[in-house]
Structure 1
């Protein structure tokens, strides 16, 4: 605007949706897909970075890819094992497992989405039962 008497009579930006509605919708879907891919990749690495290991003496939960967190509970110290499954988790054969020991006030090992959580509980119960037939 070079003149002090000059007035703006009309000002606008090009219309994205009305000008190219198909392209606008396609771009929205692609944005959702990109966000979905990012969420999927993060979810995948969180699952791959979590590992529950049960030996004949202890249960170990390791989490993290770049930084690691490890929690061990010896079977002789296990006081409570919680298995929880929602309706859909039962259909899919996965569930939540929580393990508490005598040395701590709360649940020490918590992991969700573990395949066959009842089998996990049974394995730990068998290992902590002195009459399970183990040779010590």
Structure 2
């Protein structure tokens, strides 16, 4: 009975490990898109707006990533949809930064929480929509 329960351990470890690696890759790519370093702003300056911003981005991506893992029919399918989820989340930031709130960068650098909440909300909303659209 225990061996039956543990038969899914290898796929779990593969998907979970890949998911964690994808989250790290997303954070790196997200940081490249932003002209500021969220981690530095959070760790050194205790910038709440930066924490909200990066937290919302990671949550939005992880929501979509979780849906990709749940609904994929094979590991390769998971990888493809994880990449699509990542692209959608990165695009969300670009749209907020250059279309919806062109001054979002200075708002976050100046620890203006209201702008960060909007950015995080957009990221989480895109992640939810992204996740729902992957339920094929």
When normalised by structure 1's length, the TM-score is 0.32
- Structure 1 or 2: larger helix share? 2
Larger radius of gyration: 1
Structure number with greater CO (CA < 8 Å, separation at least 6) is 2
